[in-house]
Chains A and B, each alone.
Chain A
């Protein structure tokens, strides 16, 4: 199993597997990049409605092709059907949102479930219709690489590249619409059309990815990589590129995994890999990661306790709060019995001195910055110049000694 996985990973498990893996990577890049704008526009869930709305199209396309005497499993035919019904689903969501009092989330729920329910009924009918003959349409639900034909892989590869090109071409207007739609409208961008284009991109990714990832989980490829990328960057282009990279990686690994063990459906594997990348990022990302936030908070808490502790020392109070004691003790500002050391007395005197400097500064400079930075923690040296502080010190006279 491990061997098979490594072979698939290194393009040595045969031509078809390699093609599928490349196709999945391209699809992942397109989904991650395109999904970024959906996520930034705060419309990520619309993609779920679009994805589920493909199912009745698949069923109907199959029936029509069989009725016309053709092969019901012809992939381009099935994808065309799925695209048409996805478009219908999208129009339904937009129409409901615009013309009724229902909000978008309600519209998404309604459209998603009705289309999916109808699709499942059609699949059941097809199963009874084609007794003994495996239609194989179930693989569209969760995706599979088993039994994938060469031309299927080519469709995915070409579609994926086109979608990537589209994302690159339209990244600027899509960014503008996502950040500030009203301003975008006044800079010559047709916002409604750009929203439609974004959805069209999502629809394309969904339809292309149907065979590989399946319609139930394609939403994960559109949402998880952008959300992960957002943890690592504060710039739109970087979010888009990182999301594309993560999506590509997850798609590639997932396809290789799934190809090495034919019973594993591709979609769930890709989702699990994406989720692993997300979980690691959520924990470790600098800035937005959970660990970083925790450490930041701890450091801040220590600063607060240090400052309050020093002011308490200056007032000659006994410090009882355990954290404050620990903080002051660690810096050797107090002895084990809580009495200030030489260093502690000096630091306390400085803290008191700064308090009186602040008080005077607030009288002398009726300035925004002086007021807004008077938060107890900001060192006065970062707000006032050395000359200004010297002037304040002259007015204050010699510092009072701390007991």
Chain B
């Protein structure tokens, strides 16, 4: 048993309370991120279950996106560790695919839909390898999975918001990863796109992959996800949706900002 696992086990007070770090697709330990001198994420621990679909949920400014970016090393970590399948994430980035927020790029960039998906193959292509028919066909197959095959030659600026989001998802599919990290994939998309995306994510889970989404729509958490990680700068709770996504935990996460009436509408199990 590795040092980390021993430490975890002893913290829990019972021998095999948690899975070994090597089994967890994503293990976050005491992760702190700060902008200037204000922590955006403070000492968050989380253990993402294998082949789960986990929603990271919390109010605006709770550090959801920051947590994801810090996990990926896009934002520097002030302290803490991130292990993917038991190894530091930096060593196993080829097993991780990331879907950034749609608004984070300039969609007037001179590029076509297929070119964006081919960016997902960068790791394979490297500097010198030419894009061959086989690569192009793989990219097209990924576009087909998100229902965008007919748009391959479109300029990306001509797409609607939902279509842009699907192209980003297709690029991540091209990476053929084991762990998918998505930042608000359902934000501002039409209902057809939302269905297309959730179908793809559920299919990924069926292929024994693990999906983690930053998610803001409380109404769909129970339908879409198996697990939930509630954060508001600190971790509030984590676990299966059925036992963790409770009115009590939501109240702790959102405080007064979430009206009781709103929680009632969600028809949550009572803890």
Q: Interface of A with B (CB < 8 Å)?
A: 40, 42, 169-170, 172-173, 175-176, 178-180, 182-189, 230, 233-236, 238-239, 368, 372
Q: Closest CB of chain A to B84's CB: distance in Å?
A: 12
Taking a contact as CB atoms under 8 Å apart, the answer to whether A179 and B105 are in contact is: yes
Contact indicator B119/A176 (Cβ below 8 Å): yes
Residues in B neighbouring A235, C-beta threshold 8 A: 110-112, 115
Which residues of chain A come closer than 8 Å to B115, judged between CB atoms? 235-236
Whole-angstrom distance between the Cβ of B116 and the nearest chain A Cβ: 8
Determine how close the nearest CB of chain B comes to the CB of A29; give it in whole angstroms: 19
Tell which of B93, B94, B98, B127 touches A182, judged by Cβ atoms closer than 8 Å: B98
Whether a CB of chain A sits under 8 angstroms from the CB of B192 is: yes
A-B contact pairs, 29 of them (CB 8 A): A42-B106, A169-B128, A172-B125, A173-B122, A178-B109, A179-B106, A179-B111, A180-B100, A180-B105, A183-B98, A183-B100, A183-B119, A183-B171, A185-B73, A186-B72, A186-B73, A186-B97, A187-B119, A187-B120, A187-B123, A187-B175, A233-B110, A234-B110, A234-B155, A235-B110, A235-B115, A238-B110, A239-B110, A368-B190
Is A236 a contact partner of B111 (Cβ separation < 8 A)? yes
Q: Are B100 and A368 in contact (CB under 8 A)?
A: no
Given contacts A40-B109, A187-B122, 15 further A-B contacts (CB under 8 A): A40-B110, A172-B125, A175-B111, A178-B109, A179-B116, A180-B119, A182-B100, A182-B104, A184-B122, A187-B119, A188-B122, A233-B110, A234-B110, A234-B155, A235-B115
Chain A hits for B109, CB < 8 A: 40, 178-179, 236
- Interchain nearest-CB distance for B128 vs A (Å): 8
By the criterion CB–CB under 8 Å, are B110 and A186 in contact?
no
- Tell me the complex Cα distance, A179–B104, Å: 10
**CB-CB contacts below 8 Å: B154-192 with A:** 155, 157, 160, 171, 175, 190-192
Considering the chains assembled together, what is the distance between the CA atoms of A185 and B171 in angstroms?
Answer: 14
Specify which chain B residues have a CB less than 8 angstroms from the CB of A187 in the assembled complex: 93, 119-120, 122-123, 175
Q: Which residues of B contact A (CB under 8 A)?
A: 69, 72-74, 93-94, 96-98, 100, 104-106, 109-112, 115-116, 119-120, 122-123, 125-128, 155, 157, 160, 171, 175, 190-192
CB distance from B113 to the nearest CB of A (A): 11
**With A and B bound together, what is the CA distance between A233 and B96 in angstroms?**
33
> Which residues of A lie under 8 Å from residue B127 when comparing CB positions?
169-170, 172-173
Residues in B neighbouring A186, C-beta threshold 8 A: 72-74, 93, 96-98
Query: Are B110 and A182 closer than 8 Å at their CB atoms?
Result: no
Report the Cα distance A176→B118, complex, angstroms.
10
Complexed CA–CA distance, A236 and B119 (Å): 12
Chain A residues in 8 Å Cβ range of B112? 234-235
User: Chain B residues with Cβ under 8 A from A179's Cβ?
Assistant: 105-106, 109, 111, 116, 119
Cα–Cα, bound, A235→B93 (Å): 28
Contact call A188/B123, Cβ cutoff below 8 A: yes
Determine the residue in chain B with the shortest Cβ distance to A42.
Answer: B106
In chain B, what residue has the closest Cβ to A179?
Answer: B109
* B interface SS class: mixed
B71 to chain A, nearest CB (A): 10
A233–B73 Cα distance when bound, in Å, is 34
Shortest distance between the CB of B125 and any CB in chain A (Å): 7
Alpha-carbon separation in the docked complex, A185 to B72 (Å): 8
Least Cβ–Cβ distance between A399 and chain B, in angstroms:
32
Contacts of A178 in B (CB 8 A): 109
Residues of A within 8 A of B175 (CB): 187
Residue of B nearest to A185 (CB): B74
Cα distance, A186 to B175, chains bound together (Å) = 11
Q: Which of the listed residues B104, B122, B125 has the most CB atoms from chain A within 10 Å of its own CB?
A: B122
Select from chain B the residue with minimum beta-carbon distance to A36: B110
Task: Provide the bound-state CA to CA distance between A187 and B117, in Å.
Answer: 13
User: Which residues on A sit within 8 Å (CB–CB) of B73?
Assistant: 185-186
Please, how many angstroms separate the alpha-carbon atoms of A239 and B155 in the complex? 14
Q: Which residues of B contact A368 (CB under 8 A)?
A: 190-192
Residues of A close to B120: CB separation below 8 A:
187
B residues less than 8 Å from A189 (CB atoms): 122
Q: Within 8 Å CB of A372, what residues of B?
A: 160, 190
Shortest CB-to-CB span from A220 to chain B, Å, is 21
- Complex-state Cα separation, A295 to B100, whole angstroms: 37
CB distance B155 to A188 under 8 Å?
Answer: no
Shortest distance between the CB of B198 and any CB in chain A (Å): 15
Q: How far is the CB of A328 from chain B (nearest CB, A)?
A: 31
Instruction: Please give the distance in Å from B175's CB to the nearest CB on chain A.
Output: 8
* Residue in B closest to A287 when the chains form the complex, CB atoms: B155
A-chain residues with CB within 8 Å of residue B96 when the two chains form the complex: 186
Q: How far is the CB of B36 from chain A (nearest CB, A)?
A: 9
Q: A235-B111, A235-B112 are in contact. Are A182 and B122 (CB under 8 A)?
A: no
Q: How far is the CA of A185 from the CA of B76 in the complex (A)?
A: 12
- Scoring A175, A183, A238 by chain B CB atoms within 10 A of each residue's CB, the highest score goes to A183
Question: In chain A, what residue has the closest Cβ to B90?
Answer: A188
A265 nearest CB across to chain B (Å): 33
CA distance A238 to B110 in the complex (A): 9
Closest to B118 in A: A172
List chain A residues, Cβ under 8 A from B190.
Answer: 368, 372
Q: Which residue of A has the minimal Cβ distance to B191?
A: A368
Task: For B105, list chain A residues within 8 Å (CB).
Answer: 179-180
Contact partners of A175 in chain B: CB under 8 A: 111, 119
In the assembly, what is the distance between CA of A173 and CA of B122, in Å?
8
A190 vs chain B, min Cβ distance (A): 11
